Each structure stands twice: as C-alpha cells, then as structure tokens.
Amino acid sequence: RSPADGKTLLPLDLMRGKRFTFNSLDSMSGVIALTRDLQAAGESLDIFSSRSESGGHRGSIVAVAEGKADIAAIDCESWALAQRFEPAARKVAVVGWTARRKGLPYITARTTPEKMARAMREALASLAEQPRIQRVG
C-alpha cells in the first residue's frame, strides 16, 4: 500500500543505474511526478542509465515485464486496471511511490443521461476500491 501520509517513498539505491520507461513526457503520473520527487531528493532523471517513452502505462508495464526496462511510474488507477486485465502486470512488483497528488478528472458530455453518468461514477468508484496486490507469485 502507498504510504499513509502520502509522502514519496523512492528506493534511490534500487533505482540508480536502471533503465526507466515512461508513458509520455507530458504525463504527471508517468514522469513529471517522479521528476519532481527526485529533484526534492537532490536527484534527477539522470539517476537512470537510460530513459525511453513507451506510449502508455500499459506499454510501460509490458516493457518492465519483458525485461526491456527496469522501472516505470504507473498511476494507481492504471495499475489497478492492469492487475485485472494485463497479464504482464503479474510479472512486476511495486517498489516505491511518488508523493500523492491530485489526479485528473474523468469527464463526460453534459448531455449524458443522469442514469448513465451515475453508472459511470459507480464503476469508477468500484475501481478505486479494488484490492491493490503488491506482489504476485
């Protein structure tokens, strides 16, 4: 589980010299949050031996599972979905956390019927309630 106080928990000794993959340069959860937390610790992305863009959190998870990268930063909701639907997620483990930050909102058209909007809210809420498995196997 993430730290109860929401603070960063970065295992710098495990990260140093590793291959880092991220979904995109403009992603808060994929690279920006990690960059900020590394800077707060007096480090930078230069801690990694290499950096590569995967195109998506799922791609980052697969890259780590296949040994093409060693570390990726994945937001909690994408991780929960991957644990349910991406077999490669069973081959990776959580080793640290960036500091807790506000996430982006989910939006729908104003014309979406209220019944449908309510169903979407309930579905999203149920995703947040899924158990977070830290290590499998």
- pLDDT tens-digit series, residues 7-22: 999 999 999 999 999 9
Q: Give the tens place of pLDDT for each residue, 16-70.
A: 999 999 999 998 888 999 999 999 999 999 999 999 999 999 999 999 999 999 9
Q: How far apart are CA 5 and CA 100, in angstroms?
A: 9
Is residue 92 classed exposed, middle or buried when 0-12, 13-18 and 19+ CB atoms within 10 A define those classes? buried
